[in-house]
Every structure is written in structure tokens, then in C-alpha cells.
Amino acid sequence: MRLKQKTRLPCNRVFCFRGNETIINAVPFKKVFVLLLVVFSACSAPAQNTIVVPTATLAPATSVLDTAATISPTASRPTRAPSPTFAKPAIQTPAWFDDVVLYEIFPRSFYDADGDGIGDLQGIAQKLDYLQDLGVGAIWLTPIFASPSYHGYDVTDYYKINPEFGVEQDLIDLVNEAHQRDIKIILDFVAGHSSDQHPFFKDAYGNPNSKYAAWYRWLDDAHTKYEHFGSATNMPKWNQDNPEVRAYLLENAKYWMNTAGIDGYRLDYALGVSHDFWKAFRQEIKSINADALLLGEVWDSGLKIKPYYDNQFDATFDFPVYYDVMGSHDRAGASALLAQRGLNAFESTLRAETRLYPPGAQSVRFLNNHDTLRVMSQVKTACQLSAVECERHIIERAKLAATLLLTLPATPMLYYGEEIGMSGDKSDGDKTVREPMDWYASESGAGMTTWYRPATGFNQPDDGISVAEQQNQTASLFERYRALLALRAQHDALRHGEFVTIPFVGIPAAELSALAAYARVTDAETILVVLNAGDQAITATLDLSALGSDTITLHDLLAANTLAPAPAQNFSLRLAPRAAYVFQLEP
């Protein structure tokens, strides 16, 4: 949950830096090298689902690099090879989390199995094959426990599944079905506060003699004023300093580990709970399953995130890099995806995080979540072109964003509907970023949720934004996501490779701010990513000499073509506007 915006400033596991330069001294460069090139450019208007395909050529060619993936929509999905859990010198974290793509689901909006208009656990189970085909390896469910609100972050009974979502056995079945597909299930846990409808709070409110009087944080002797989450008076804060409260919350968390066999927790608003509590939480959960994931929501700077890796969390959400890319979580127009800020600003943040966080620390990188504008709303700007051209520009920019997300170090996270380009802003509070998952062109059909369908909603019939309209359509945003998840599963460099910044040569500062290039390197391969967020095509010269060869040959992994060899020190590429490229360096 979001309380207030903080400054930005997590990943230390797969790359290293010294000062302002990247050092690759732990992994020798040999055999196959894969290079990732991504180019970002400014865009100009709302769009739906059209796209053009540029092709890669060496400068001084006249054509631009092709950004459309040609991986067959019906190709079999690669099998993700899980990594063993290695002992880390500083902290022990679950190695499986490095190998997956995380997918956030707001259950109420995802898929409705019983026809009441509200998404549920059985509905999610029915869509596991869809998620497996997409390439998802772990699912985070926002709160599913009993609650009076639509969002569930004000819990009334931690031992009871919200009846609108199902019953306990439905969760057990979902976890079992997911595990059969090698998919992990992570639950949201709210340790900072309860609902004001929780029976313990109702008993203690206005009753200083209540058995639960010391379970909450009161501000007056009459127990009518109390601390609460932000401005939400319906969310009174637990008093975790009380051993009874601590034991109660820990037993709740252990119950679902033991009963349903879940794979870990996302810890809501971690800033509102003491470090001592989180240390106790880790000890209890890891005693049940040492490979369980503890993922903390620490919405703050790297300096504030750092202490939570001290025997507390395995991973945190990378809000610092998020703000480098997006600029704002609730206002569109300031994103690096629109070339409104330096596209490569995240590189210095990665260096800072590497110095701050201990070895083994894990991070989650994301473009949106249930508290932020959807990425599709972040890549829209005023557009003076035809509707078709405006739509094409937006889809190109969304594909560029996806390429950045899925080629950076750490674990990427998708927010449901991101893969089809669902939009969402804050025009109706948070509900507009939590609209029903769009499965069909007509906006109706089996499984479609209807709990929130405002006339001004972003979901509209036949708008090109649905699974049915994009699945198996080669140029669609969905198939680009699917192709990128497949590449990440196929190439170890994209999951574990060192991160190497690639410099541009002779590019004016005004044009350079819209560009980024970096490599992901392992002993066996090198991947190069190049991004152009600008609205103009550009001939860019890169210095690839750090990759260990005098002459470089690149194979475009998305367009499936190979470029002619060229000198590493002055490797020129003609980059399309709003384009992203993923290359493999050939031996």
C-alpha cells in the first residue's frame, strides 16, 4: 500500500561496479556473447494495438532496425531451468526467485469462476495455463483474507479466505495446481494494521478494560482515538510491541505456510512495522521453509531500503529504479519512456544499490502495480498524427518499456493486464488501475469480472486491448511480452549475467538522453540491449570493445537476422524511433 511518495534511490546479485565504471571480473568472456540494445524515444498520443516493424542494419544503411519479434506465437514455451539455492556470503535468499518472472494479480479483477462478477481463486486456477504459456514463474496475490473493503488491505480475519474469493480448500487447490506447473504462489500479508471491523478492535474501542486494549496504539485514555494507516481511520495500527499481538500475527502467517504450502509473502507497507518484528517474522517463516520468499514493500530510497536486508527480507521492490524510469507514480508525462528524462538514469541507481545492499540481496523491478498508474497510461502523450499513427507510437513505446523491464538485472514483475496494454490512471482513485482483466474483444464472456464497470472506464469493446484480440497476433504487445519472457527463460545471461554499461560515441547530449545500451554477460554468452526512446531515427555508434573482441557480429534475437561483422570500437547501428533491440554476440 502507498502512504506517501518518497525519494528514490536494489540489486547486488548479478553484477558489480567500481566507482562510476562497471567491473566484470568474476565472469570470463568466452563462447557465445549476447548483447542487449534498447532505444527509447518520445511519443505522442493514446493508442491501442497497431505496430510497425523496423529491421536491423549496419550504418550507413537506409533502413532502421526491426523491432517486431518473429518468434512464432505457437512455438512451444521453453522450460525454465531452476537454479540451486547457493549460500551467500552476506544473506541467504531463495535462488529460484532469480529465475522467475513475477505476476501480480488483483483477484477481484482477474477471472470469475462462479459467475457472480467477482474474480476468485478458482478463476485464477483456471487461468494457470495462460500464465504458464506467457512464461510466468511466480504469482503474487493481493490480499485474499476476510475484509469489508474491495481491496482487502483492512483484514477482519487472517484465518479466513474472503468468501467472495472462495474457501480455504480453493487456495490449497490453487497452490497445488500452480506447483504442478512449476509456478510459485506468494500471498500479501498486512502486519501493520487491521480493519476497524476486526473483532479485537471492536472489543477494545472505547473499552480500556478490554482483553485487547493493549493490542492497538491508542492516543487517549478513553480508547477512542488511535493511530491508523495514513489518513485511513478504518485501518487501526496493531501494537506489535505487545508479545500477544506479535504471536498472533506470526501464527497467522505460519498457518498458511503449513496449511496451503504457499511459497512466501509480500509484506505490505513494511515501513510501518519495526525491524525487530520483521526479524522475528523471518525466523518463523524460514524455520518452516528456508526457500520461502520474503518480499518487502519498502516504498522509499535505497538508504531506507538497505536496513531491511539485515536478517529481514530476501527481496524488496526497486522503487528507486521505478522512479528513474517513470518519474511519478500518479502523474503521467514525466517518464523516460517519453524521453522526458535521461533514459539511462537507472544505471547510476544500479551502481548505488550495488554498493548499498549486501551480496545476495534480491530486487523486483516493475513498470506498474496496483498503487501506480499503469505503464500504458505513462506512454501516452498528446498526438497530432492520425489515430492509426498515434496508436502505433504508443504500442512501440510499450514494447520498448517491456524490453527494458525484462532485460535488466533482478526479478521482473508484470501487473495483470500489462501484457495486453491495459490503461489506468487515478481519475477514480485506485480503482481505475484495478479494472477487470480484459479477456475478450466484446468485454463479455466466461470469466469476465463485472464488479467495477464505470461508463468512463478504460476497458472498451473492440478496442484491441484484450487477450482474444492479441493472442497469436505476431505484432501484438502480448506476443512481444511472450517473446521477451521466452528469451529470459532461454538465456542465462538475462537472469544471472553481469550488467555492463555500453557507451555511445560522438552522440550530441540532446540525443544521448533518449538512448541507453547495456550488455548482460555470463561465461557462456553475452546479450546486448539497445534502446531509443526518441521520436526520431538515429544512427548510433557504440563502443563495444569492453566485450572482448576486436570485431563484433550481432544476431537480432527478436527479428531473427544477423548483422554483418563490424569493428567493436565503432559499431554503428541505425535505430528506429521508439525502438528496442536485443542482440546476441556471436563467437
Residue 498 maps to which CATH number? 3.20.20.80
Residue 534 burial (CB < 10 Å; 0-12/13-18/19+)?
buried
For 34-43, 53-62, 477-486, 498-507, which range has the lowest pLDDT when averaged over its residues? Answer: 53-62
Coil, strand or helix: which one is 96? helix
pLDDT tens-digit map of 220-240: 999 999 999 999 999 999 999
Q: pLDDT class for 381, splitting at 50, 70, 90?
A: confident
CB 13 within 8 A of CB 365: no
- C-alpha to C-alpha distance for 223 and 208, rounded to whole angstroms: 6
| Residue tagged 531473427 (cell numbers) | 560
* Residue 503 one-letter amino acid: P
Instruction: Determine which one of 297, 318, 396, 469 is catalytic.
Output: 297
* DSSP codes joined into one string, 234-290: EEEBB-TTSHHHHHHHHHHHHHHHHHH---EEEETTGGGS-HHHHHHHHHHHHHH-T
pTM above 0.75, yes or no: yes
- C-alpha to C-alpha distance for 492 and 527, rounded to whole angstroms: 10
Q: What is the pLDDT of residue 385?
A: 85
Is 526 a domain residue?
yes
Give 500's strand partners. Answer: 519
Decide the pairing of beta strands 571-575 and 566-567.
unpaired
Task: List helix spans (H) across 473-567.
Answer: 477-490, 492-496, 509-512
Is 60 a domain residue?
yes
Is 34 a domain residue?
yes
Which helix (H) or strand (E) element contains residue 168? helix 168-180
Q: What are phi and psi of 161, to 5 degrees?
A: -70, 140
Q: Active site includes 297?
A: yes
Q: Active site includes 170?
A: no
Q: Is the pLDDT of residue 417 over 70?
A: yes
Is 62 a domain residue?
yes
For 139-143, 163-167, 377-381, 515-519, which range has the lowest pLDDT when averaged over its residues? Answer: 377-381
Cα angle 559, 60, 392 (rounded to 5 degrees) comes to 45
pLDDT tens-digit map of 59-113: 333 334 444 433 443 444 444 444 444 443 578 999 999 999 999 999 999 999 9
Q: Is the pLDDT of residue 296 over 80?
A: yes
Sign of the dihedral defined by the CA atoms of residues 573, 576, 582, 584, in that order:
negative
Give the other-Cβ count within 10 Å of 408's Cβ.
26
The range of the structural domain enclosing residue 139 comes to 17-90+103-585
Give the other-Cβ count within 10 Å of 430's Cβ.
17
Cα angle 183, 372, 423 (rounded to 5 degrees) comes to 85
Q: Is the pLDDT of residue 139 over 60?
A: yes
Average pLDDT in the chain: 88
SS3 content of the chain, % helix, strand, coil (to 5): 30, 20, 50
- Average pLDDT, stretch 128-151? 98
Is 365 a domain residue?
yes
Q: What is the pLDDT of residue 383?
A: 79
- C-alpha to C-alpha distance for 155 and 197, rounded to whole angstroms: 8
Q: Is the pLDDT of residue 11 over 60?
A: no
For 28-42, 122-136, 478-492, 539-553, which range has the lowest pLDDT when averaged over its residues? Answer: 28-42
CA atoms within 13 A on the CB side of 87: 1
Q: pLDDT class for 587, splitting at 50, 70, 90?
A: confident
Residue 280 burial (CB < 10 Å; 0-12/13-18/19+)?
middle
Set of cell numbers at residue 58: 549496419
Is 556 a domain residue?
yes
Q: What is the pLDDT of residue 2?
A: 56
Q: Is 3 left (phi over 0), alpha (psi -120 to 50) or beta?
A: alpha
- C-alpha to C-alpha distance for 59 and 369, rounded to whole angstroms: 39
Q: What is the pLDDT of residue 90?
A: 73
Instruction: Determine which one of 66, 268, 492, 556 is catalytic.
Output: 268
Set of cell numbers at residue 221: 485514555
Q: What is the pLDDT of residue 396?
A: 97
Is 3 a domain residue?
no
- C-alpha to C-alpha distance for 401 and 367, rounded to whole angstroms: 8
Q: What are phi and psi of 169, to 5 degrees?
A: -65, -30
- Average pLDDT, stretch 443-452? 97
Which helix (H) or strand (E) element contains residue 144? none
For 22-26, 154-158, 427-431, 445-449, which range has the lowest pLDDT when averaged over its residues? Answer: 22-26
Q: Is the pLDDT of residue 216 over 70?
A: yes
Give percent above pLDDT 90 in the chain: 80
Q: Is the pLDDT of residue 376 over 90?
A: yes
For 24-38, 194-208, 540-554, which range has the lowest pLDDT when averaged over its residues? Answer: 24-38
Residues ≥6 apart with Cβ < 8 Å to 541: 59, 504, 505, 506, 507, 570, 571, 572, 573
Q: Is the pLDDT of residue 13 over 70?
A: no
Give the other-Cβ count within 10 Å of 83's Cβ.
15
For 15-29, 248-262, 562-576, which range has the lowest pLDDT when averaged over its residues? Answer: 15-29
Q: Is the pLDDT of residue 12 over 80?
A: no
Structurally, the chain folds into a number of domains equal to 1
Q: What is the pLDDT of residue 510?
A: 86
Is 7 a domain residue?
no
- C-alpha to C-alpha distance for 375 and 533, rounded to whole angstroms: 15
**pLDDT, greater one: 6 or 362:** 362
Give 145's strand partners. Answer: 161
Q: What is the pLDDT of residue 380?
A: 86
Residues ≥6 apart with Cβ < 8 Å to 56: 65, 66, 554, 556, 559, 561, 563, 573, 581, 583
CA atoms within 13 A on the CB side of 399: 38
pLDDT tens-digit map of 314-366: 999 999 999 999 999 999 988 999 988 899 999 999 999 999 999 999 999 99
Q: What is the pLDDT of residue 340?
A: 87
pLDDT tens-digit map of 140-171: 999 999 999 999 999 999 999 999 999 999 99
Residues ≥6 apart with Cβ < 8 Å to 45: 380, 381, 382, 383, 384, 385, 390, 391, 393, 394
